Amino acid sequence: MTAENIPKATAKRLPIYYRYLNILHDTGKQRISSTELAEAVQVDSATIRRDFSYFGALGKRGYGYDVDSLLNFFKQILNQEHLTNVALIGVGNLGHALLNFNFHKDSNVRISAAFDTNQDIVNTVEDGVPVYPISQLADQLREQQIQVVILTVPSSAAQEVAADAVAGGVKGILNFTPIRLSVPDKVLVQNVDLTNELQTLIYFIDNFSN
């Protein structure tokens, strides 16, 4: 089965499985059942078995899954052996927090360039990452061959900045603004609305928590 045929819900769970398999590997555990994995990652075992079935026979009945084999498989599927450079657009409070987080310590993702309009930080290095004027966005993205950006700009500037990023060859945008961006079909947008997530959490607490 090709990647295009994998359901998006399954694709979103793959990094969760991968992270936990890393933990198991570090503790020396050699095998795990779908039930044990379900309890650890809070995904029911039937869903896990269905997710894994898209990739063929990854386990054995009565044995479960070999941790190292499964870890290596997902490492290849998720392209974890290849470092991906991404750009941060907008170095405000949230942008600074993301720079400080340092994705590359825990994954194959590294913020290698940042962009902002604030002249106090433009042409400086913040948390080891060079900050460029946003006017250079498209040129720098092309020059550095960066295809993924994280967008943390004010809402009023989001669409215009996204268009500049697309002009620079971007193929994916992690959008932290509440604006739903208009981009070409070939560009993937993942929306992260923190306010919406918090309001949803509060709703469930108020209506379903004992």
Q: From the annotation, which residues make up the binding site?
A: 90-95
Q: What is the DSSP letter of 136?
A: G
Query: Coil, strand, or helix at residue 60?
Result: strand
Beta strands in 101-147 (DSSP E): 109-116, 125-126, 129-133
Q: What share of the chain is helix, strand, coil (3-state, %, to 5)?
A: 50, 20, 35
* Known binding residues for NAD(+): 90-95
Q: Nearest 5°: CA angle at 16, between 194 and 144?
A: 70
Other residues' Cβ atoms within 10 Å of the Cβ of residue 174: 17
